[in-house]
Amino acid sequence: MKLTFTIQGGDFTNAGHPSSEVKKVLKQLVIDGKTIKNIVIALYEAEVNVVAHAWKGTVTVEIDEKKITMLVEDEGPGIPDIALAMQAGYSTASKKVREMGFGAGMGLPNIKKNTDELFIESEVDKGTKVKMINYF
């Protein structure tokens, strides 16, 4: 099964839509509750990263019998230093985004904690690809 979604940078009104849809699908497939929770946390954080930092993005989710693969690709400023971005508490979020309660530097650490496999590729001024895999 394959699901695709688009995300608009700066559009916080729809942040959480892809993760909400994926959650519904996984519930129907009778996936273990803890696994669904992990997947939803990781995907939501990746979506918010696109909304908060990038210009636009796409979410592609593939589900088979054994695993879920979530690819979040954006056109945006990219991440100059991925190791630094992975550090808890490090954030480049704007003041507006922080006032909403985002941008605490917890997004990527949350993704790391809740995925079985995580791959991040980024090019400055081009964009970022985040691939997350969770096994059922």
Partner 1 sequence: MKVSEIVEKLDLKVFSGQKGLDREISGGYVSDLLSDVMGNAQEGEVWITLQVHQNVMAIASLKDLAAVILVNSLEPHENTVRHSDDENIPVLGTNLSTFEIAGKLYQLFNQ
Give the shortest CB-120-to-partner 1 separation in angstroms.
Answer: 17
Q: Which is nearer to partner 1, 3 or 104 (CB)?
A: 104
- Of 99 and 121, the one with the shorter C-beta distance to partner 1 is 99
- Kindly tell me which of 32 and 123 has the beta carbon lying closer to partner 1: 32
The nearest distance, CB 106 to partner 1, in angstroms, is 4
Least distance from C-beta 126 to partner 1, angstroms? Answer: 25
Contact footprint for partner 1 (CB under 8 A): 12-13, 15-16, 19-20, 23, 37, 40-41, 44-45, 48, 100-102, 104, 106-107, 110, 113-114
Q: How far is the CB of 76 from partner 1 (least distance, A)?
A: 19
Strand order in the sheet with 117-123: 2-8, 56-63, 67-75, 127-135, 117-123
Q: Which is nearer to partner 1, 23 or 53 (CB)?
A: 23
